Amino acid sequence: MTKAFDGIRVVDTTHVLAGPFASYQMAVLGAEVIKVESPNAPDQARMQGSDRALNDIGMGTAFMAQASNKKTLALDLKTPEGREAMMRLISTADVFVENYRPGAFDELGLGYEEMSKLNPKLIYCSISAFGSTGPRRKQTAYDNVIQAFSGMMAMTGHGDGRPLKSGAPVVDYATGTTAALAISTALFQRERNGGKGQFVDVSMLDVALILSSSHLTGYLWNGKHPEQKGNTFPFATIGCYQAADVPIMIAASNLQQQRRLWTALGREDMIKTDNNQRLDAHAEESDALSKIIGTMTADYWEEFLQKRRIPAARIRRMEETLSDHQVANQQVLYKHAVPNSAINGLTVPVAAFNLSDSQPEVTLPPQPMGAQSTEILTQLGYEAEEIEAMRAAGAIN
């Protein structure tokens, strides 16, 4: 069955998480993704993850989480031969993605202006910390630095003033998702404007601000900086409460849900008719809920509340979440079968959505650096002797 990006070639020179995740989302939807790495400086995520043995062979779990379905080409762009091969490759591409310092590819003669002349249909996506323009354009960052800069960390914590980053690299993966959407948008527009490509600029800072939209809008309205709330919310019927064993998160958010909650708990006297009453009664409601929830286990309350259409979930560790039947039902994970390989049994996330007509799919396990170098260069017209000469010169591995 035809997939959304069948026939689309993506040249991916990104590294770490955000950029590789963007191209990965296209790869599981049918795009041919060619990952280009320097033989002397491979993607640093290859050496990062939960298994040191895999890190040592350049197949770290941080890398493999978004490396399936990608061919790999090891190419040194600092050599004339490497740049020439890259230009040949870009001339055949629909999409080019990079996430280095803005201007770095211009210095190599591989910037958007030059590449759009070489290939007018090219969608050229640049992912960076602060964007390709502005006074901070050349500054670099990772997810945690952007969380610090954007205000996300300042509003996250237990109310003691100490900032706290998110446990997961949410800015990285949100940036990758945003880039995939932006590239998809540009490809869709190309179909409508006679096949003309365009430049796509994705900033991690912009993504972090979008992730903070409701807080940002509130601050811009009244100048009140979002306070650290920990696991508490403006309404006491939304929050984390200690059950008899472990904590449970409850989210009786709207007036109807809070009515159902207090009715189910036999405390109809606590029902409010408007949200201002709920705000004013936070301390009283919180105290009442703490006493009630503490009488039974979190599992008991989760089942009790969910049956009454009140959102609630016991706090789970990852192993508990992944063993839940709902995860298997959604097909969000894929287990690789690669006999006689160090990564046999590797399980990776695929995509956070399902399609009835062209399901996201994993077809190729993560590859060692340069695994398809000869194959790709041969497709670009290089003879065997030329490829060996490039290898001897260190332009490829």
Distance CA 97, CA 77 (A): 15
**CA gyration radius, the chain:** 25
Q: Is 273 exposed, middle or buried (0-12, 13-18, 19+ CB in 10 A)?
A: exposed
- Asked whether the beta carbons of 116 and 94 are under 8 A apart, the reply is no
Give the dihedral sign, CA 142/369/184/333: negative
Q: In sequence order, what DSSP letters do the residues of 3-71 get, joined into one string?
A: -TTTT-EEEE---TTHHHHHHHHHHTTT-EEEEEEBTTB--GGGG-SS-HHHHHTT--HHHHTT-TTEE
C-alpha separations of 189 from 180, 197, 240, 358 in Å:
14, 9, 45, 21
Beta bridge partners of 35: 12, 72
Distance CA 112, CA 175 (A): 20
Distance CA 76, CA 125 (A): 20
- Which is nearest to 97 in space by CA: 3, 17, 213, 19? 19
Cα-Cα end-to-end distance for the chain: 35
Q: Which residues are catalytic?
A: 172
- Which is nearest to 128 in space by CA: 113, 110, 146, 149? 146
- Which is nearest to 139 in space by CA: 103, 109, 191? 103
Where in the chain does DSSP place strands (E)? 9-12, 32-37, 70-74, 95-98, 123-128, 198-203, 238-242, 247-251, 312-314, 333-335, 347-349
- Which is nearest to 60 in space by CA: 25, 26, 16? 16
Token pair listed for 137:
């354009």
